[in-house]
């Protein structure tokens, strides 16, 4: 049931094709259920289910994160919005979110069942992520590494034209600041 919910969340946040891997029991995420999604551009994302938290708590958390990332604070995940602009979606009795993948490698305590790994959708190279996630991936522009304390976007104050994000791969992460069009 949980994997089904995670898949549903991934479908809602990402455009096919993407690689989906269900991951269980990560201590880094308080043992919550989550999945790793690798999109067509090779960016890694984390889909997480929130079971006990209220929507007010989650919305507060997302507002703080979005504001902080827009101000160029490093070390925070970038939240994905679905096509209606929501960063939280209701699935059955819980809430789901998708954010940039922060850990440089998988938590050694977490479990990955190979059976839960799959490619979703076709292999068309022009597929793009939705919403601000799309802006992030299509306007990629490497600025600096994570050694910085604050990495401000090019146009602070105009969040519609600039976005700060994390780019990651299996071996590491770098903090990117991306100027908009």
Residues that bind other proteins (CB under 8 A): 27-30, 50, 53, 57, 60-61, 64-65, 68, 74-77, 102-104, 107-109, 145-147, 166, 172-173
Three-class SS state of 173: strand
How many Å apart are CA 161 and CA 110, to the nearest integer? Answer: 37
Task: Kindly state the tokens that stand for 95.
Answer: 């809430």
Q: Which is nearer to other proteins, 38 or 65 (CB)?
A: 65
Choose among 169, 91, 165, 108: nearest CA to 131.
165
Residue placing its CB nearer to other proteins in the complex, 10 or 76: 76
- Decide whether 102 or 120 has the Cβ nearer to other proteins: 102
Minimum separation from the CB atom of position 119 to other proteins (A):
26
Q: To the nearest whole angstrom, how small is the minimum distance from the Cβ of residue 22 to other proteins? A: 18
Q: Are 18 and 40 in contact (CB under 8 A)?
A: yes
User: For the chain, what is the radius of gyration of the CA atoms?
Assistant: 16
Closest distance between other proteins and the C-beta of residue 110, in Å?
Answer: 10
Shortest distance in whole angstroms from residue 121 CB to other proteins: 27
> How many angstroms separate the CA atoms of 89 and 97, rounded?
7
Q: CB nearer to other proteins: give 129 or 175.
A: 175
What is the distance, to the nearest Å, from the Cα of residue 139 to the centroid of all Cα atoms in its chain?
Answer: 16
């Amino acid at each position: 049931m949980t994997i089904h919910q995670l898949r549903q969340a991934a479908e809602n946040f990402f455009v096919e094709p993407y690689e989906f891997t269900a991951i269980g029991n990560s201590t880094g995420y308080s043992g919550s259920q989550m999945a790793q999604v690798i999109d067509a551009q090779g960016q890694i994302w984390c889909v997480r289910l929130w079971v006990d938290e209220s929507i007010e708590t989650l919305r507060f958390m997302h507002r703080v994160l979005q504001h902080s990332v827009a101000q160029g604070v490093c070390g925070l995940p970038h939240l994905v919005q679905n096509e209606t602009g929501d960063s939280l979606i209701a699935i059955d009795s819980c809430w789901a979110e998708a954010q940039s993948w922060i850990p440089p490698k998988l938590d050694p305590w977490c479990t990955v069942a190979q059976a839960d790994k799959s490619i979703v959708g076709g292999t068309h190279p022009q597929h793009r992520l939705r919403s601000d996630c799309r802006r992030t991936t299509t306007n990629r522009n490497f600025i600096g590494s994570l050694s910085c304390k604050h990495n401000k976007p090019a146009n602070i104050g105009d969040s519609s034209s600039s976005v700060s994000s994390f780019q990651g791969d299996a071996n590491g992460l770098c903090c990117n600041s991306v100027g908009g069009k």
